[in-house]
Structure formats: C-alpha cells, structure tokens
Homo-oligomer: A and B are copies of this chain.
Amino acid sequence: MRTMSEVTEQTAPRPRKSVLDILFGPPLANADDSEKIGPAAGIPVFGLDALSSAAYGPEAALTILLALGSAGIAYMMPIVLTIIVLLSVVYFSYRQTIAAYPGGGGSYTVASENLGARVGLIAGAALLVDYILNVAVGISAGVGALVSAVPALYPHTLALCLVILVILTGVNLRGVRESGLAFIVPTCVFVVSLGAVIVIGLIKTVLHDGHPISIAAIPRCGPAMTTVSVWLLVKAFSSGCTAMTGVEAVSNGVPLFRDPKVKNARTTLAVIIAILILMLAGIAYLCQSYGIAATVSDQPGYESVLSQLAAAVSGRNVFYYVTMGAVLVALALSANTSFADFPRVCRAIAEKGYLPHSFTIRGRRLVFSIGICALSLLAGLLLIAFGGITDRLIPLFAVGAFTAFTLSQTGMVMHWKKNGGPRARRSILINGAGALATGLTTCVVIVAKFADGAWIAVLAIPGLVLLMSVIRHHYEGISREVDDSSPAKLSGIEPPIVVVPVKGWSKIAKKALRFAYTLSQDVFVVHFEPIRQGGTQAGSELEKKWDQYIVHPAVDAGLLPPQLVVLQSRYRFVTTSIVKYILDLEHHHPHRTIAVVLPELVERHWFNYLLHDQRTALLRVMLLIRGNGHIVVSGVPWYLQS
C-alpha cells in the first residue's frame, strides 16, 4: 500500500534574480561547501585579529603608564617581554590542540568534551563575548588610526565605526572565501608597512646610538600623576594582554584548511605568532627610544601610538599615509576573524540545543547568516554604548579571551590524561603550563580591570550561560511534550463542525461555503449585525435571501443545509463576538474538531491591504491565542483578477 514518490535533484527553485542575489551573490548549493583555504589565505582570515592586536595592545599598556608621565615609557619593554613569554606558552599549547582536534578544536569543543557540558558552556559564552568585543575594539581602533591621520574626522568617530561595521557584515554575508581573498592584500600591506617602520626605526636608533631624532613633533607627555607601583604595572600588563586576543581563532577553524589540515593550520599559527612577537617587541623598543607615550583617546588631539611612531620615523609623507591606511584597514578587518568564527561557535552551541536552532541554518551563501547578523547587532550596540572609543572598551576585553584560553588548555590536560598516547606526559606538561599561565593572567586581568569595566564581561559570561541553559531547558520541555514514537491514531475519525464567518453574500463567501462542505455537513454560517440606536433590525440581505441563496442549492445537492447564526451585540466588537461564539461551540462539543473557514481577499500589492480592515487576520490570531487543540483555522483565499 505504500507509495513513495522521491523527488531527487529537484532543479533549484529560484524564479528570478532578486535584490538578495545582487547584494550577496547567487545562492550556493550544499556541495559548494568546498571553500577550503591554505596558509596564505589562512593568515588574513584567522590571523588578522591577532596581528592587528599589535596596534592597540601596546597602546593600551602605554595609556595606563601615562599616569607616570614620560618616566612611564621605560616600563614598556619589560611588560611587552612578559606578554611575549605568555604568547609563546600559548603557542605551544595550541599546536597540540590543533593536532588533537583536526575537526575544529575551539575552546567550546575542547572544554565541553573534556570538562563537561557546563564548563564547555562557560568557555562558549566567554568566546562569544570575546568575539563581540573583538569586533567593537577592532573597528574602534581602526577608526582611531583614521582620526589620528585626519584629525578633522574626530567628531564623526562613532558614525565611521558603524559604517565600517555595516560594510563588514555585508562582505561576510557573501561567504568566507571572498572574505579571505578580499583581506590578503590589506594584511600584506599592513605587515610590510609596519615592518618597514620598525626596521627603519631600528636602523636609525642604531645609527644614533640609541637616541634617534624624531622627524615629526611628538605630542608632549603630561606630568607624572603618581609614582610607580606594582598595582599600576599589573594594570598596564592587563591592558597590554589585549595584544594576545585572536590566537584562539586558528585552532577553532582547522576544518576550513585544505589538506593536510593539521600541518597547514600549524604553519598558519606559527607565522601569525612569530610576526606578532616581532611587532610587539619592535613597537615597545621604538617607543622607548623615541620617547613616545600614549595620548588621551576620548579627547580631541588624540593621536594613536602607531601614528606617532610612523610620523617620528618617516615624517608625515606618503609612506606615513600608506602605513596609517593599512593600519586602518587591517584593524577594521581584524573584526573579520570574529565574523568567521562567531557564527561557527554559535552553530556548535545551537546544535546541542543551547541557542536557537536558526543559528544552525546555513544561509544562501553557506554562511550562518543569523550568527553574522547577531554578531553585527551586538557589536553595534557596544560601539554605540561606548561611543566608538577603544580605550573605554579595552577593560572589557581580554577577560573572555583568557577565560577561553584557560578552559581550553585545562580541557587539553584532561584530554591527554584520558587518551594517553605516546608522549602524553610531555603534552600534559605543555598544556598544563599553558593553563597555569593563562589562568593566572585571567585572574590578574579581572582583578586589575574590574572597576574599569571588566565587571561587565564578568557578569555577561554567566548571564549568557544562564540564558543558554534556559533555552536548552525550553527545547527539552518541548521535546518531552511533542516527541512520539507510537503509531498514528486514525480510527474513529469524525467530520468536524465547520464555522464560516461571512460579512455578506459574495463570491468570496460562496467559495468559502463550498470549501466548508468538503470538510463536513455540519456547517454554521456566522453573520455579525450590530444593534443600532432605535432598536428594530431590518435584517440583512443574507437573512432575506437565505433560502434562495443557500438552503435550496444545498437540498438540491443532497446536503444538509447550513445553520445561519446571527450574532448581535450592542458593542462593535465583531471579532471578539465571533471568537466567543466559536469558543462556546467548542465548549458544547468537547469531542469534535471545530474547523473555522475564513474567506480571505488576496490583494496584489501589500499597500492595498491598508484599504481593508484587518479583521480576518485579527480573528485568526485571536483564535490561535484563545483557542485550544480542537480549533483549526483554514483560510480560503479569493484572488482578485484585475
């Protein structure tokens, strides 16, 4: 008896080229998911975040040291060296993660597999917070570079940030391969030009015996506000740690690499970290030798550290503007790392039911569109809340990244303990060192930055965990109620009671009545009539012609004629009166299904709907809200020809 009709290789159901096609490119089929990349594209896609951190990390530390006046600059080198050591530890840790999780070893995966779902959720929440902040900080720092080069733009900081956010969102909705290609050139220009600044600066420093002469004027540093203290240095270190954000990205994106995946991913990570270390060391050393301090970023006259450095080394010539342009583009695009990873982490979490299912749906271009839009929205809100000023966002940053680092490394330790392997002891040692170093740093960052804004991140992470738990709980509740593995009950099916509300006699009503008889012979035609002042009712056209229009044709066709129900009310609540009547009917026939047949006029243009009252739509919604399992609503559309 079973008939199976399988429609394979259905042609793409696309009637025409739409606005979406033009903006985001044509849709990609499932098999098009071969958008794989090698190290050359991997460095911009996954590394831009880490690399561009060099532009705001040292500056964030220098901003704290500003309190010490010009004497503060001397403390930069030791702080950056500490960060470089930490970075190396993290590098070796993540090398192992890449090998152990070629299917994508993001903190979320590693922590949930090895430390349990609950801890995994904390890692996931920390990552999501980190990604959102990365977008906001990247864009705001990029705009910071722009307003350093063109001070006239300073008042438009926030507007510029939001414009860049919108452009990035658009690029990413097009898909990841285009993103990689679009970002290779700016990354190269950034690395090369900043490298050139550093190299030229070093040569000049050596030639001048460690005291090079600045070409452009360096903004004067204010007087010392306080004396040096461990607390101040710890705060500077905590701010500087933002230079380390983004290292996580590669291990999370391993499956995107072309084969051999592990080798390609490791090469990418090594190149990224090596460049980053060189940049950080170079910048710190040159700041010290040129005597460059930070400027206050939320006041006009602000100039970024990189801008000061480039101007000091080369003067404000073409090369300076190229460098600053590259810094702007690289920083703004660094947010792209988040756009590549945030939706993937969301998908992984959503697949376990902790986030709405829509995060798992791939959009037209095989990217997780909902995740991209969510990221864009949240980062936009952050930018607006903090006015697009990097310095105000920095204290929130790093908490999420370092929490994720720590949980990921700890998870790896458990991984090796469980799975053993030839060199398990060595692996445990490496990842254990990573976990210890990043764990300590996390605590330091939280304590040092708590009052300045880290508390927001500290609240946001458990808040997100709670939200995700509630979502999962809700889905589980639905599953419990809805899931079924028993056969259908199809015996004793009785035809429903049919209710047809009509305004008057028309072709629309005729069609609805005809459909009503396909359902059942128990048909009630409901007609509303207001009680007007004066009292006596003339009775409507429908009542007068009832026998002629309806009863005789029904009898002729051998059907039971419908019942006419005239609802009257001193009020003008047509909809509520009809709903009440249907609920009463349902109450009197508790075992019958009530099928409400709604005649609907379908207009050609949406604005034509302004010409009709929306009572049918309202009736549908009210029946859904106030109804129950016995009421089924059917819309019988009438299409206008003209």
Contact = CB atoms under 8 A, between A and B. Distances in A.
Nearest to A7: B567
Nearest to A506: B482
B506 A483 contact: yes
A574 to B, nearest CB: 9
A31 B488 contact: no
A636 interface: yes
Interface in A599-642: 600-602, 608, 610-613, 624-625, 627-629, 631-642
B488 A30 contact: no
A3 interface: yes
Interface of A: 1-10, 12-14, 27, 29-31, 33, 356-358, 361-362, 471, 474-475, 477-478, 481-496, 505-511, 513-515, 517-520, 530-533, 543, 545-557, 559-561, 563-573, 576-577, 579-581, 593, 595, 600-602, 608, 610-613, 624-625, 627-629, 631-642
Given A7-B565, A564-B3, A487 B549 contact: yes
Number of identical protomers: 2
A640 B477 contact: yes
A163 B399 CA distance: 44
Nearest to A555: B1
A563 to B, nearest CB: 4
Contacts of A489: 510, 514, 553
Contacts of A576: 13-14
Contact of A10 (B514, B568, B629): B568
B612 A356 contact: yes
A613 B549 contact: no
A490 B629 contact: no
B613 A358 contact: yes
Given A4-B566, A487-B553, 7 more contacts: A2-B561, A358-B612, A488-B553, A488-B554, A490-B553, A518-B519, A518-B593
Nearest to A511: B629
A27 B571 contact: yes
A360 to B, nearest CB: 9
A182 B496 CA distance: 54
A464 to B, nearest CB: 15
A9 B2 CA distance: 55
A130 to B, nearest CB: 23
